Structures are given as structure tokens and as C-alpha cells.
């Protein structure tokens, strides 16, 4: 077989990353990722499609775009000549290949760009084809997947090329309004008009390993600023660190990751009006009768709530929930490590889980900013709440924070407004929200995740307007009065249940959650199911009305509700 092969060049190729000589078939088997250095070589659109979708499932869109040279552009060559050459070189009609397919059994519409075709530039025909693909998604009620590779606008089509950013964005807007998921996969390179429209306005933005994305290209930036650029500028990892993408995915994992995400899309509240009867409302009766709960000293409870061995949000995501897919970034410039969030399943039901993340060791705690969210953390949470509402997923939040980050940087980035926006958005969110205060519920930072339909609290968690130390420092002569302050603040679960701030106390195992994380995880799961299931069939309007009533009643604290007044 090899004896009849035409020439050495077609059998072997040299890696652009490490210069290793690679057997072509081996490279192809490895999805065109260099087995030596991991370089992801650029893929032609047909290859990309065959790698991503279920075999044989791709159906190209029926309509062909009309030939366009809208402004009769000529540089050294007339534009039509360049088009003809690109068609001959690539075997494609345009710089994008569009159709419908299934990925992991889930249907979607997809548009895959091809950088070989005039640099994947966004001309009128490309815009038209992607728009039609989005319209197809809308018509069929399926998610839209966009794989981008582009240098930007197609200057040979002048301002009409620029308009494509708006044309495609409008089609994306219609999908948003319809609650249909959009996913973009950034591949190398994605720049200019494509980056500044549909590549980054999708609900979920994945970056393939090795992809670079930005509005302005590095050469332009260097020219304009006269400065050298930082190492790794605009790479996938850079984008993740700066909150621009949800995740970085190596090519070999892309299909599976897409399959997971598309599977979620078909399961939202709108998609699955469950006919099986929800758990009876009596499930909302307190699991622990607050008046009979063993009385523990408030200060001792504070210490239990802060215990480093207490399960964290990521622990619960491992134990209480299944199939967690973490989503990153606020899309504005940051990814706060003190807030984690993403898609997960609870007893087979898809939902969005968002929580504060502390850690068990000093190193973990420091890396997570001790669970104190920055504005970027609050804005990541906000983005995920809104996404959940759009695609019809319930939201579960896990609260465990000493408070919002009190730094200078946080103030510069609008910490107060970030918290305020979360509280406001949760007051309007048209999807069920259940909160569990799992450790420390510290002030505004806690409430930014806790304006919920049901607010649960672990038995030895605390929830307070200020830390006992902070309160003591202000109202007592010194910090040593923290234990007295803890008692005076009524910050324990039984107290807050009596005040109506908390709806239900989730029992902890003997000792505390730190002594038996597994039993705690089971208790949290049980409590979540009992509280969430009855909410799933409540119409969004009613949910929001009830939620507002729930918090409205704190406007005039009832005398009879004072702690200990029962």
C-alpha cells in the first residue's frame, strides 16, 4: 500500500509546533493534534463536522447563498476572482458550512467556519448562511452550535460586511427570546467582527485548546500601543483567566462535552412539564423542629460553621449532585475563584448550581479568597442565574462566605452594585431558586445568592448581618466580646427559622457536618428534593409573586416573630 503511495509529502507532515515528522494517518487518527507536542492544527470545516457530530447525522442546509460582490470591489484582483480561487482551493462554496446534526443523540443546528476560505472572513453570504442556520434552530426548537474561525470582517464587501455582525446577532437574539441554547466553540483564530458578535454572545462559550480570540489582533495592538504583549496573550487560558470563556476543551474531548451541554438544553422546565405528581407541600415542614433542636451555644455554632473540615460547595457537587460541568467567567474580565457554578443533576434533574467556595487547607482557602466573592464572582453568579432562567433550569445556591470581598480592587469594580444587581435579579428570576446556607452566611455577600423561594440552613450553619467579631468591635468595648455578640445576633438556624428568615433546618449528623460529610450530603440532597420538587410545576409568575411576598413580610418585623417569642 505504501509502495503505491504518490509521494513522501502526502504520507508525512512536519508539526508546526515541535517540528516532529508525523505520519499523516497517525495525525488524522489523533484528530490532527500533534501526538508529540499537543499542537491543535487548524481543521477544514468538513473535517471538523465529522469529528464533532454523530456519524452520518449531518444534513447540509438546503439553500445555497447567492453569489455576491455587492460593491464591485477590486484590489490587485477583482473580488470575484478571489472567491473563485477560494472555492477551488477548499471545495467549499463559502467560508462556512451549515446544517443540522445530532451530537450524542441531541439534535442541533450547526455552522462551522473554515479559515482556509478567505481567512474565514464574515461576508454577506457567510452572515446569511449563519443566520439561516439560527433560523433553522428556532424553527425546529433545537440548540445552535457555532464553530468559529475567522480573521474578522470581509473588507471586499465594505460596510455590508460590518452589518453581518448585526444580522447574525439578531438571529441569536431570537434564540435567546425563545429560550433555546446557543453554544459557540472558539477555534484558532477567532478575531474581529466574528469575535465581537456571535462567537462571544452565545450562552456558552467554549475555547478549543490552542485557540486565540480577541477583537483586535496582536499585530494591530503592538502597532497601536508600541508595546510588547504579555506571554500567552489572547490564548484560551488567557481568555479563561479573564472570564471570557466558560471552559477550555482539548479537541479529543469536544464532542463529549458538546453532547453533555446539548443534553441539558432539552430538559428545561419548558421542555419537560413533568406529569408525575410533585411531592406534597407538606414536604416543606421543617425537617428539624427548631423549638426542639438541641440548643447549642451561638458562639460554638459559629466555630462549627467555620470549621475547615466542613464540606465545601465543590464537595457537595461531588456528593449531593451528579455530573457537574463547571462554567467560568463573568464575560467582563474576571473569573472569581470564590464562586463556583455550573450545570449539574440532582436525582436525574438538570439544574444550575452556584455556590461560594472555601477550602480545607490554608493553601486552598487562600486560592479561593476564603470564599469572599469579588464583583467578578457576583457577576459570574448573575450570568449563570440568567442563563438558567433562559433555558428553564431551576437554580440551587449554596451559601458559605464570611462576606463579600472587602478589598480596594473590589470597590473599584463596583462591589456594592454587583451585589445589588444579584438581589434585584433574583427578585425577578422566572425559575425556582432554592438556597442552602451550608456554613457561614455572611451579610450582603450571602444574600447576593440567597433571595430564594426556599431558604434552607444546615443545623450548625450561621447567617448574619455582620460577623460576631465585627459586631463586637463596633458595639462592645473590644473584640473579646464576640461570643456575646454571637448570642445577641440570633444567627443560628433555629433562631432564624423562628424569625422566618429561614424556612427549614437541615439536620447535621452527630457532632457536625465536618464529622460525617457523606451523611450531610445525603441530608442536603433530601432537603433539596423535598423543597425543589413542589416548585417545578409552579408557573413562573406565581413563583416570582410568592418570592416577593416572602421577602416583603420582613418590611415590618412582626412582634410575635421575635426570637424566643413562640
Nearer to Zn ion, 152 or 210 (CB): 210
Of 22-41, binders to Zn ion (CB under 5 A) are 34, 36-37, 39
Q: Which stretch binds Zn ion (CB under 5 A): 14-22, 86-94, 272-280, 448-456?
A: 14-22
The CB-of-32 to Zn ion minimum distance in angstroms stands at 11
The CB-of-251 to Zn ion minimum distance in angstroms stands at 14
The CB-of-14 to Zn ion minimum distance in angstroms stands at 9
Among 5, 11, 14, 18, binds Zn ion (CB under 5 A): 18
DSSP helix/strand/coil, 149: strand
- Alpha carbon 185 to its chain centroid, in Å, reads 14
Nearer to Zn ion, 235 or 492 (CB): 235
Nearer to Zn ion, 30 or 267 (CB): 30
C-alpha cell at 111: 455552522
Among 15, 171, 262, 544, binds Zn ion (CB under 5 A): 15
The CB-of-203 to Zn ion minimum distance in angstroms stands at 34
The Cα–Cα gap between 407 and 272 comes to 44
The CB-of-12 to Zn ion minimum distance in angstroms stands at 13
Nearer to Zn ion, 20 or 499 (CB): 20
* Residues facing 113 on adjacent strands: 96
Number of residues that bind Zn ion (CB under 5 A): 8
Nearer to Zn ion, 31 or 162 (CB): 31
Nearer to Zn ion, 11 or 366 (CB): 11
The CB-of-247 to Zn ion minimum distance in angstroms stands at 24
Query: What is the x/- site pattern for Zn ion, positions 382-421, by CB under 5 A?
Result: ----------------------------------------
The Cα–Cα gap between 119 and 170 comes to 24
Q: What is the dihedral of CA 326, 332, 333, 337, to 10 degrees?
A: -30
* Torsions phi, psi for 308 (to 5 deg): -65, -20
The CB-of-41 to Zn ion minimum distance in angstroms stands at 9
DSSP helix/strand/coil, 442: strand
Q: Which stretch binds Zn ion (CB under 5 A): 10-18, 117-125, 421-429, 500-508?
A: 10-18
Of 191-220, binders to Zn ion (CB under 5 A) are none
Report strand pairing: 12-14 vs 21-23: antiparallel
Q: Say how many CA atoms lie within 13 Å of 423 toward its Cβ.
A: 13
Of 272-331, binders to Zn ion (CB under 5 A) are none
Nearer to Zn ion, 188 or 203 (CB): 188
The Cα–Cα gap between 382 and 330 comes to 8
Nearer to Zn ion, 17 or 509 (CB): 17
Nearer to Zn ion, 236 or 543 (CB): 236
Nearer to Zn ion, 20 or 287 (CB): 20
CA distances from 297 to 303, 335, 415, 491 (A): 10, 38, 33, 11
The Cα–Cα gap between 407 and 427 comes to 27
Nearest alpha carbon to residue 153 among 130, 131, 179, 121: 121
Of 36-75, binders to Zn ion (CB under 5 A) are 36-37, 39
Nearer to Zn ion, 30 or 526 (CB): 30
> How big, in percent rounded to 5, are the helix, strand and coil portions of the chain?
45, 20, 35
Nearest alpha carbon to residue 407 among 375, 430, 383: 375
The CB-of-45 to Zn ion minimum distance in angstroms stands at 23
Write out the H or E segment, with its range, that includes residue 471. Answer: helix 468-475
Is residue 21 within the footprint of Zn ion (CB under 5 A)? no
Contact 234, 214 (CB under 8 A): yes
The CB-of-36 to Zn ion minimum distance in angstroms stands at 4
Q: Which stretch binds Zn ion (CB under 5 A): 9-17, 425-433, 477-485, 522-530?
A: 9-17
Nearer to Zn ion, 39 or 263 (CB): 39
The Cα–Cα gap between 227 and 251 comes to 33
Handedness of CA 468, 472, 473, 474 (dihedral sign): positive
Nearer to Zn ion, 29 or 64 (CB): 29
The CB-of-235 to Zn ion minimum distance in angstroms stands at 17
Nearer to Zn ion, 39 or 163 (CB): 39
Question: For the chain, how far is it from start to end, CA to CA, in angstroms?
Answer: 88
The CB-of-240 to Zn ion minimum distance in angstroms stands at 23
| 400-437 burial: b if 16+ Cβ within 10 Å, else e | bbbbbbeeeebeebebeebbebbbebbeebebbbbbbb
DSSP helix/strand/coil, 343: strand
* Torsions phi, psi for 316 (to 5 deg): -65, -35
Among 12, 17, 263, 349, binds Zn ion (CB under 5 A): 17
Q: Which stretch binds Zn ion (CB under 5 A): 8-16, 390-398, 434-442, 447-455?
A: 8-16
* Residues facing 315 on adjacent strands: none
The Cα–Cα gap between 94 and 67 comes to 10
Helices (H), 196-277: 198-201, 218-225, 236-241, 251-265
Q: Which residues bind Zn ion (CB under 5 A)?
A: 15, 17-18, 20, 34, 36-37, 39
Amino acid at each position: 500500500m505504501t509502495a503505491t503511495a504518490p509521494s513522501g509529502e502526502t504520507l508525512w507532515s512536519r508539526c508546526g509546533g515541535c517540528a516532529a515528522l508525523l505520519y499523516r494517518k497517525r495525525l488524522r487518527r489523533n484528530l490532527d493534534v500533534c501526538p508529540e507536542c499537543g499542537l491543535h492544527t487548524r481543521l477544514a470545516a468538513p473535517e471538523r463536522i465529522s469529528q464533532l457530530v454523530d456519524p452520518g447525522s449531518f444534513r447540509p442546509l438546503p439553500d445555497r447563498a447567492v453569489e455576491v460582490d455587492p460593491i464591485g470591489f477590486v484590489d490587485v484582483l477583482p473580488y470575484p476572482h478571489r472567491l473563485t480561487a477560494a472555492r477551488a482551493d477548499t471545495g467549499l462554496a463559502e467560508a462556512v458550512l451549515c446544517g443540522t446534526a445530532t451530537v450524542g443523540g441531541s439534535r442541533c443546528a450547526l455552522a462551522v467556519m473554515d479559515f482556509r476560505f478567505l481567512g474565514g472572513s464574515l461576508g454577506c453570504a457567510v452572515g446569511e448562511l449563519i443566520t439561516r442556520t439560527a433560523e433553522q434552530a428556532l424553527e425546529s426548537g433545537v440548540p445552535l452550535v457555532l464553530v468559529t474561525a475567522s480573521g474578522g470582517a470581509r473588507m471586499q464587501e465594505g460596510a455590508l460586511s460590518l452589518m453581518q455582525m448585526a444580522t447574525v446577532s439578531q438571529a441569536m437574539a431570537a434564540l435567546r427570546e425563545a429560550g433555546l441554547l446557543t453554544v459557540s466553540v472558539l477555534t484558532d483564530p477567532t478575531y474581529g467582527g466574528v469575535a465581537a458578535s456571535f462567537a462571544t454572545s452565545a450562552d456558552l462559550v467554549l475555547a478549543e485548546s490552542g485557540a486565540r480570540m480577541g477583537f483586535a489582533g496582536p499585530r494591530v495592538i503592538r502597532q497601536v500601543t508600541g508595546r510588547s504583549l504579555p506571554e500567552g496573550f489572547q490564548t484560551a487560558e488567557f481568555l479563561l483567566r479573564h472570564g471570557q470563556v466558560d471552559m477550555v476543551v482539548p479537541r479529543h474531548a469536544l464532542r463529549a462535552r458538546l453532547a453533555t451541554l446539548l443534553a441539558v438544553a432539552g430538559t428545561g422546565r419548558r421542555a419537560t412539564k413533568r406529569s408525575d405528581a410533585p411531592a406534597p407541600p407538606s414536604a416543606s415542614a421543617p425537617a428539624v423542629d427548631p423549638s426542639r433542636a438541641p440548643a447549642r451555644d451561638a458562639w460554638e455554632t459559629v466555630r462549627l460553621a467555620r470549621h475547615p473540615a466542613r464540606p465545601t460547595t465543590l464537595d457537595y457537587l461531588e456528593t449531593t449532585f451528579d455530573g457537574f460541568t463547571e462554567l467560568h467567567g463573568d464575560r467582563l474580565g474576571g473569573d472569581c475563584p470564590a464562586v463556583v457554578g455550573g450545570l449539574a443533576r440532582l436525582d436525574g434533574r438538570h439544574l444550575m448550581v452556584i455556590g461560594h467556595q472555601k477550602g480545607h487547607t490554608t493553601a486552598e482557602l487562600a486560592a479561593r479568597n476564603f470564599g469572599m466573592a469579588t464583583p467578578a464572582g457576583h457577576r459570574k453568579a448573575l450570568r449563570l442565574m440568567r442563563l438558567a432562567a433562559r433555558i428553564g433550569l431551576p437554580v440551587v445556591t449554596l451559601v458559605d462566605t464570611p462576606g463579600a470581598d472587602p478589598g480596594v480592587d473590589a470597590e473599584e469594580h463596583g462591589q456594592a452594585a454587583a451585589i445589588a444587581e444579584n438581589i434585584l435579579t433574583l427578585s425577578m428570576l422566572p425559575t425556582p431558586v432554592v438556597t442552602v446556607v451550608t456554613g457561614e452566611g455572611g451579610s450582603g455577600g450571602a444574600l447576593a445568592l440567597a433571595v430564594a423561594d426556599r431558604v434552607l440552613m444546615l443545623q450548625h450553619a450561621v447567617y448574619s448581618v455582620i460577623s460576631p467579631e465585627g459586631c463586637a468591635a463596633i458595639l462592645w468595648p473590644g473584640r473579646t466580646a464576640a461570643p456575646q455578640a454571637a448570642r445577641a445576633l440570633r444567627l443560628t438556624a433555629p433562631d432564624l427559622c423562628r424569625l422566618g428568615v429561614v424556612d427549614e433546618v437541615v439536620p447535621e449528623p452527630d457532632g457536625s457536618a465536618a464529622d460525617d460529610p457523606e451523611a450531610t450530603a445525603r441530608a442536603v440532597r433530601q432537603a433539596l428534593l423535598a423543597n425543589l420538587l413542589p416548585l417545578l410545576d409552579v408557573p413562573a409568575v406565581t413563583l416570582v409573586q410568592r418570592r416577593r411576598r416572602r421577602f416583603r413580610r420582613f418590611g415590618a418585623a412582626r412582634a410575635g416573630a421575635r426570637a424566643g417569642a413562640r
